[in-house]
Chain A
Amino acid sequence: MSVLSLDGITKSYGGNAILKGVSLEAEVGEFIALVGPSGCGKSTLLRIVAGLDHGDTGEIVIGGRSVVRKAAADRNVAMVFQSYALYPHLTAGENIAVPLAMRRLTAAQRLPFVGNVLPGQKQIRTDIQRQVKEMALALKIDHLLDRKPGQMSGGQRQRVALARAMVRRPAVFLMDEPLSNLDANLRVHARGEIVDLHRRAGVPTLYVTHDQSEALSMADRVAVMIGGNLLQLANPKEIYDNPSHVEVARFLGQPKINVVETRTDAAGIVRFGDLVLMANRGQAPDAPVKLAVRPEFVRFSPQGAGRLSARVERMEFLGSEVIVHARLDAIGEVMTSKSAPAEAASLAIGQPVDVEIMPERAMLFDHEGARLPAEPLAVAATREKIHG
């Protein structure tokens, strides 16, 4: 059963389409990362789900009820903001208590002085205090409850913001780049913590980030948004290995995927060096296509006399791996290879190399970017060579 479902959300600002019909369903306890380059509309989408902004068209269902016409407060969603948005004049404990107090106490009970003498108020307040304390213990911030946000570090503020969002057990959690203001070490640590907290709470989470490694490492499913469209929603392995659109392939992966513009011949076959691919079962004859292959499936070997030769231009040593950029002699484009340092040991800048591509890892996309099924035809190619 889906707890959160978005259907055909559109939004435009002054004739500028920001969201072009985004649909998405989150299952119970699922962690979905919305990832995309800046300006792709991911934050806008999150704000629309939260009720802080309104979509032009589309339906939002949370827990089986349509919430499009409901105010942010009545949607039972909690959000962690990039800037944390803690109330600067309240202590950490008071900050965490706010959502509970706003929901459980009546307007009269919240009044200063007057509220204190109303019946039932004391019981609720102690209850809230107990829950704040529990939440703080779970997040290991119980020693910070009396501090104001200004007296806390970025990491501590981030935890308080998490606690404030989690304390009222919302139906859906929304997170808008909650880790982007932390330093690199803390960020990796906080990733694991958020995933753990999410497991324990079991609340479906929409997590917006522009950091692909965050998305891939944390999420159950990753949604890649580009230019206002949700291009693909799949689990991290699937979306990395099997992108449905060339933009998804380009966005995910570090270093970037190699993309070469080429054409199919009359039989719908793409030839690129030793690589021979049948595009779309031969249904795409004589058409421009994009051939894409991830750097880890490209290998440069130091002969330089094969069918696809290149010259090493730049090498980046990253410790556990080496990234080699080489320019293809034939078409002048740069290809990137990622390999273990031992494999790249024999390469040097300026050296001519042969390019080898793993045929089953090569992907084809049509000229608009949509994925084309492709079969490697290594055997056929050999045969052709013999006959031709």
Chain B
Amino acid sequence: MITNALSVARIVRLAVLSLGALLFLAPYIFMVSTAGKAQSEIFSSSLSLIPEQWSYIENFSKALSRVSMTTLLFNGVVVCALIFVIQIVVAIPCAYAMAKLKFRAARAMMVLVMLGLLVPIHATALPIYVAFDKLSVLNSYAALVAPFSISVFAIFLFLQFFRAMPDDLIHAARLDGMSEAGIVARVIVPNAWPAITAFAIFSVVAHWNDLFWPLIVVTNQDYATPPLGLLFFRAAEAGDDYGALMAATLIITLPLVSAFLLAQKRFVEGITMTGLKG
């Protein structure tokens, strides 16, 4: 009886989960399918997931040849890596100081971090754009990276995580002769991997997929990030060649999807851990 009831509950659960997964995956599946269809088939009235005539090779070669996909991917990697590294280098010492050191400005900093969390990028986009224009740094990696170098979200996330770390650990490190920088490097960071991984997901996903900011500061194809590159591709080359467009989209989403699948376990650990800790 019990096993029966359990298995019924299991089936219901699995069904609900599968339905949800299908709902979320549908656009992606449709994209994969479209990437393999010829132009005529895409615009035909019949809707089928499996292409009648496999044109993957044709579409992918179009996508790869008409736009320099390697430049796009390289830009994406460089921009995301720079943003992530700078965010970590800034946010970890800052969060450590706010969580574990006593100083007068701590309260004011906390208020500023909270305010920072409330202000969306769209509100500050115009002033930053004007400033970058005056400094003539538009169309550069600096323009893509600089506005995101200080992440209040990262500070907030690490702050919560570091607060849960025992004070005695830091006291012990101090007595053992470590400087504050030494404590951050030798004690805090090695014990903060779950939080760093969790933040890495948020940061890399957000900036890899970001279209808004690159669209504002980049007009030169050489600095285009993948989503912006797609836009250029669509506007200039493909027109309504959705097969090639979907193939290109597939290529630029592939790095994130494969990275997630490879490190799935660690990512989930990281998110649940920081989630539980506040």
Closest chain-A Cβ to B169's Cβ sits at a distance in Å of 5
B15 to chain A, nearest CB (A): 39
Inter-chain residue pair count (beta carbon < 8 A) = 55
The verdict on B264 contacting chain A, using a C-beta distance below 8 Å, is no
Chain B contacts for A87, CB-based, 8 A: 169, 172-173, 186-187, 190-191
Instruction: Give the complex CA separation of A235 and B89 in angstroms.
Output: 53
B-chain residues with CB within 8 Å of residue A252 when the two chains form the complex: none
When A88-B191, A89-B190 are in contact, do A103 and B177 touch as well, CB less than 8 Å? yes
B58 to chain A, nearest CB (A): 49
Taking each of B169, B172, B182, which has the highest tally of chain A beta carbons within 10 Å of its own beta carbon?
Answer: B172
Choose, from A72-80, A236-244, A320-328, the stretch at the interface: A72-80
Question: Does B178 have its Cβ within 8 Å of any Cβ on chain A?
Answer: yes
Task: Point out the residues of chain A lying under 8 angstroms from B240, CB to CB.
Answer: none
Task: Tell me if A73 and B177 are in contact (CB < 8 A).
Answer: yes
| Cα–Cα, bound, A198→B51 (Å) | 81
Q: Are B171 and A79 in contact (CB under 8 A)?
A: yes
A155 to chain B, nearest CB (A): 18
The answer to whether A102 touches B171 (Cβ under 8 A) is no
User: When the two chains form their complex, are residues B175 and A79 in contact, meaning their CB atoms are under 8 A apart?
Assistant: yes
Which residues from A are CB-within-8-Å of B239? Answer: none
Interfacial chain A residues near B174, Cβ < 8 Å: 51-52, 71-73
Beta-carbon contact of B166 and A102 below 8 Å: no
For A77, the chain B residues whose CB sits under 8 A away are: 175
Interface range for A: 20 to 34
Please report the C-alpha to C-alpha distance between residue A164 and residue B177 in the assembled complex, in whole angstroms.
Answer: 13
A377 at the interface (CB under 8 A from B): no
Q: Is the interface of B mostly helix, strand, loop or mixed?
A: helix
The answer to whether the Cβ of B168 comes within 8 Å of any Cβ in the partner chain is yes
Residues in A with CB closer than 8 Å to B171 are 47, 50, 52, 72, 79, 81, 85
Q: Are B176 and A99 interface neighbours, CB within 8 A?
A: yes
Across-interface contacts of B166 in A (CB, < 8 A): 83, 85
Q: Which of chain B's residues 167-212 have a Cβ closer than 8 Å to chain A?
A: 168-169, 171-178, 182, 186-187, 190-191
A86 to B169, CA, bound (A): 7
B175–A52 CB distance below 8 A: yes
A98 proximal to B (CB < 8 A): yes
Q: Separation in Å of the A239 CB from the closest CB of chain B?
A: 29
Name the CB-closest residue of A to B193.
A89
Contact with B along A54-85 (1 / 0, CB 8 A): 00000000000000000111000111011101
What residues of A have a CB within 8 angstroms of the CB of B177 in the complex?
Answer: 73, 99, 102-103
**Cβ contacts A to B, 20 pairs, < 8 Å:** A52-B174, A71-B174, A72-B174, A73-B177, A79-B172, A79-B175, A81-B172, A83-B166, A85-B168, A85-B169, A86-B172, A87-B187, A89-B190, A89-B191, A99-B176, A102-B176, A102-B177, A102-B178, A164-B172, A164-B176
The 10 closest A-B pairs by CB, nearest first: A102-B177, A85-B168, A85-B172, A89-B190, A73-B177, A81-B168, A99-B176, A72-B174, A52-B171, A85-B169
Q: Which residues of A contact B (CB under 8 A)?
A: 47, 50-52, 71-73, 77-79, 81-83, 85-89, 98-99, 102-103, 164
What residues of chain B have their CB less than 8 Å away from a CB belonging to chain A?
Answer: 166, 168-169, 171-178, 182, 186-187, 190-191
Given contacts A87-B190, A99-B177, 15 further A-B contacts (CB under 8 A): A77-B175, A78-B175, A79-B171, A81-B168, A81-B172, A83-B166, A83-B168, A85-B166, A85-B171, A87-B169, A87-B172, A98-B176, A99-B176, A102-B177, A102-B178
